[in-house]
Amino acid sequence: MNGNEAAASQDAAGAARQAMLIVLLTAATMLAFAANSLLTRLALQTTAIDPTSFIVVRLASGAAMLALIVMLQRLRLPSLQKSWPSAVLLFIYAVAFSFAYRGIDTGAGALLLFASAQLTMIAYGYARGERASLPGVLLALAGLVAFLAPGAAAPALLPAGLMTIAGIAWGGFSLLGRFSQDTPVGNTASSFIWALPLALGLMFLQRDAIRLDGVGVAYALLSGAVMSGLGYAVWYWVRVRMTAIAAGSVQLSVPVLSALLGMMMLGEHLGAERWLAGAAVLAGVAITTLSAARRARQRKG
């Protein structure tokens, strides 16, 4: 084997190792995002911690982890002037997400969160003149309506509404991050840091209802520091090494993983009709995402 062949072989081996690393890290981050729903549901269903305390611990630990990563990478944090809209949306998401999980199953909550976030971003694209697959949007909306339709397994209206608000806020947060000129990790770290005073203010207002619990605090620490802070830092590294279609597609696994975790850890059961409705939502989002990506490539070409 000559020098050129040896170099080509080493390059191929290096590319294969990086591809495997991306696959493993992608699977780990999707599992981490799904675990956020499980940990929140576990904390609020099986321990005495109240939602506000869970929010404060989650945001504080997430901010600490992200700040550490920012320092290690020697990144700059955006100013408050740049960060406050994202911080407010992150706070709204965290509050609605946590209070919703007092009364909605893990998988149902994750599906509503994902669907409302994706539909918010799709609606924003339509408002800007972008066009995707109308059948895909209609399929997702029809699946969402079917999922929420009255029935024995339907989620309660108030928790479902709160999770929809959480998804809309998360969709807005994602859009702000997409158009930000700052690094994704720095932008997210700044948002967590500035959302924390809002959460502390909520804790002061809810001081009579505060209930701390050791296990509940541990769940919140895991959710904030590991699943959110570290999880998003790893995801940002992986995302830039994937195509937009692949990045959008793998996120479809999060509601499914959340539902499976809820079934294994909490004995939850969605029912066949909810699974079908959820599958329609995910299929509609996938069709719309693929259509939008194809149109974007055609415009560039």
Q: Concatenated DSSP letters for 167-185? A: HHHHHHHHHHHHH-SS-HH
Give residue 81's pLDDT.
Answer: 82
Would you place residue 239 in the very low, low, confident or very high pLDDT band (cuts 50, 70, 90)? confident
Q: Specify the pLDDT at position 297.
A: 63
* 30/254 Cα distance (integer angstroms): 6
Band (pLDDT 50/70/90 cuts) for residue 216 is very high
Tokens read off for 264:
């294994």
User: How far is 21 from 274, CA to CA, in rounded Å?
Assistant: 34
Contacts (Cβ under 8 Å, ≥6 apart) of 38: 106, 258, 261, 262, 265, 266
Residue 286's pLDDT is: 78
The residue written with tokens 């909810």 in the block is 274
Is the whole-model pTM more than 0.95?
no
pLDDT (tens digit per residue) in 40-96: 999 999 999 999 999 999 999 999 999 999 999 998 888 878 889 999 999 999 999
266 CB burial (10 A radius; 0-12, 13-18, 19+): middle
pLDDT in tens, 128-175: 776 666 777 788 888 888 877 766 566 788 999 999 999 999 999 998
- pLDDT tier at 7, thresholds 50, 70, 90: low
Mean pLDDT of the chain: 85
